[in-house]
Amino acid sequence: MNTPTSLDPNDYEVLIRRRGETDYASYCPQLAIMIKGSAHEEVEEAMKKVVLDHIDSLKSSGSVTTEAH
């Protein structure tokens, strides 16, 4: 799998799943990362941070995508 190079956060999906009352997971298929936690907001915000950190690392390394969507 190729690492995505888009700088647009909207190009990254954040999927959230709930099992039971306090078991949540967020998954980003583009980055193949899963985060588990006990609250919806917790896993959602943590994944958004992962996506933004990924974008920041792309910017600092010069790996960018200029494709129009």
The count of domains in the chain is 1
pTM exceeding 0.75: yes
Quick one: residue 32, left, alpha or beta (phi over 0 = left, psi -120 to 50 = alpha)? left
* Residue 38 domain-assigned (yes or no): yes
- pLDDT tens profile 33-50: 999 999 999 999 999 999
* Residue 51 domain-assigned (yes or no): yes
Q: How far apart are CA 26 and CA 51, in angstroms?
A: 12
The secondary element (H helix, E strand) that includes residue 45 is helix 40-61
CATH number, residue 41 = 3.30.160
Query: How much helix, strand and coil, in percent to the nearest 5, is found in the chain?
Result: 35, 20, 45
* Residue 36 domain-assigned (yes or no): yes
Domain that holds residue 51: 9-61
Indicate whether 4 pLDDT > 50. yes
* Residue 67 domain-assigned (yes or no): no
* Residue 25 domain-assigned (yes or no): yes
**What integer pLDDT is reported at residue 64 of this predicted model?**
65
Indicate whether 69 pLDDT > 60. no
